Amino acid sequence: MKLFSILTFIAVITAAILSADCLKVSAQENEIREYHISQNGSGDFSTIQEAVNHARNGDILIIHPGVYTENVTVFGKVLYLMGTDRDTCILQCDTADYRTVPLSIAAGGVSNLTITGLDTGTILPSSVNGIPAADNSSLNKTLDCYSGYAVHIEQNFLFQKSLRFSNCRIVSWHNFCVGLGSRGNSTVLFEDCELAAYGNGGCIFFHDSVFDKFCGDSSLIIRDCRMISCFSPYIMVFQTYNAASRTSLTFQNVKVSAVAYINDSIYDSNDMNTSDTVEELAKREAAEQLYDNRLVYLLPPEESIRFLSWRNEIWHTKSCPDPAESGFSEGILYIALTYETAPAQSHHVIGISNYSGRPEQGWCGLHNTSLTADSYGNTLPEMNASP
């Protein structure tokens, strides 16, 4: 009996020690680690992707100044990529291929970085840079004809999670700056960011989930940001693919510099936007029905030619201009090379497309989408909540 008591005591002590060791290991596994990325060898890693591959869920990656020419993919992890200075911490790569982008990520945070989708002159099979249908049976072949975004958010891992961009400059010389496929119960936030589109796409392309099990409520919040689009007639495009999706949009103090064209062929004939066209906004502005700031700038042919020459110079030199210095200021530039009659197509700077093929009862005619009441201070009237 005495021997049994001793053995029992030893077993209890051993179990306690093992339990303590397990708790210690578990705590170490859950500990948030911080890694430094530097190209001069002073950090833990010299490339961002190396650090991403090594990092665990919740880790922080500090990116030191340098030009990182990489295709960074964060898959199945919540990570936080933090530059030390937005102007000198640059992530870039050629986005001629739709699948190769500077940054693909789904959850966590990105801050203090310049992310650039380059155009190095690679020729694509097709010069058309539209948006492929998500349910296309030959999607992979279709994607070969499209260039990539600067930032691509298109993973089921976003489901029930959040992603935040803070103080970032996102530049695209090809497709949209950001391609965002939302998922249910998720939030994507952009704050204090600049999105500058100098290619065939605008600033943001948004669509809901194609898959029923990843549908639900999602939120897109954009605040204290600057959006610039020099080429594309749509500064943002929104598409719905699934009746089970619901989206809330919040815009706060978003300053927009957009272009519009008198030429109908530039616009999507399937655009379902139910808000005012550029022409209608100009009329409302002339009737003093809009706010005090200038919104629509109607450029006659000679001024349009000057603007297009400036735009072409940007394209060839690949130099990001200061919009204020170029005269491309906040508002909508309506470009005309010839005077024509009233347009047949709808001229909007926000493109809307629904799975139903018709406008729906939502923001700007977008299915199951609402604008939150705390949307205010934005350049475009449709981005502001009604009083």
Residue 336's pLDDT is: 83
pLDDT given at position 171: 96
Beta bridge partners of 371: 249
Identify the pLDDT of residue 139: 44
- What pLDDT is attached to residue 326? 57
State whether residue 222 is helix, strand or coil. strand
Neighbour-count burial of 202, counting CB atoms closer than 10 A to its CB (0-12 exposed, 13-18 middle, 19+ buried): buried
Helix (H) or strand (E) holding 7: helix 2-30
Number of H helices, E strands in the chain: 6, 25
Distance CA 226, CA 228 (A): 7
Predicted pLDDT at 3: 45
What residue ranges do the domains of the chain occupy? 31-383
Instruction: Report yes or no: 235 and 203 within 8 Å, Cβ to Cβ.
Output: yes
141-182 pLDDT, tens digit per residue, is 555 678 999 999 999 999 999 999 999 999 999 999 999 999
pLDDT beneath 70: ranges in the chain: 1-29, 123-144, 292, 321-327, 338-342, 387
Task: Output the pLDDT for position 25.
Answer: 44
Walk across the sheet containing 226-229 and list its strands. Answer: 66-69, 89-94, 114-118, 169-172, 194-197, 226-229, 255-261, 331-335, 296-299
Beta bridge partners of 81: 61, 110
pLDDT recorded at residue 16: 52
Model pLDDT for residues 281-337, shown as the tens digit of each residue: 999 999 988 876 789 998 888 888 888 888 888 878 877 766 555 557 899 999 987
Instruction: Report pTM.
Output: 0.87
- C-alpha 91/C-alpha 93 separation (Å) is 7
The answer to whether the CB of 166 falls within 8 A of the CB of 192 is yes
* pLDDT reported for residue 78: 98
Q: Transcribe 322-357 into DSSP letters.
A: -HHHHT--SEEEEE-SS--SS-SS---SEEEE-TTS
